[in-house]
A = this chain, B = another copy of it.
């Protein structure tokens, strides 16, 4: 569905957002640990998100990444996905033809249109605040949690 880069990007944004709500900047190291992602690769993805004004970064001591709390409910999942994967997921042809169009539809075009509309709808209507909510309440997770009974 999404590229690995995009998956890490979304997870990183959600984690950064939870901490930004408590006015805390977070370091790359902390992010990678909390979302269980490879640190240098995550750095690259964050650079891209910073360029796209989704994440804000500050260098040096007590620096790190944050997302301005006022933006957390205006940033849509679509914005993050678009920054990293573009729009092929909801615009491209499901059978990989150069373009998806009503004029030259592939055999699964009509079935796929429904799916792609659903994806677009989800990306367009889900904001970052919604995604952080469950995480803060311990109802959702960004990595497989290991408890004290099993590892």
**Measuring CB to CB, which residues of chain A are less than 8 angstroms from any residue of chain B?**
1-2, 4, 7-8, 10-11, 14, 77, 89, 92, 94-99, 104-109, 111-112, 114-115, 118-119, 122, 126, 131-132, 134-135, 139-145
Q: How far is the CB of A104 from chain B (nearest CB, A)?
A: 5
A141 surroundings in chain B (CB, below 8 A): 97, 104-106
- Picked from B92, B98, B131, the residue with its CB within 8 Å of the CB of A107 is B131
Q: Taking A135-B107, A140-B109, A141-B104 as contacts, is the C-beta distance between A4 and B118 under 8 angstroms? A: no
Known: A115-B115, A118-B115, A122-B114. A1 touches B94 (CB 8 A): yes
A89 and B112 alpha carbons, distance in the complex (Å)? 14
7 A-B pairs with least C-beta separation: A7-B96, A107-B131, A107-B140, A111-B122, A7-B95, A104-B141, A105-B140
Alpha-carbon distance A118/B1, docked complex (angstroms)? 14
Q: How far is the CB of A99 from chain B (nearest CB, A)?
A: 8
In the complex, what residues of B have CB within 8 A of residue A104's CB? 141, 144-145
Contact of A89 with B140 at beta-carbon distance under 8 Å, contacts A107-B132, A108-B126 already known: no
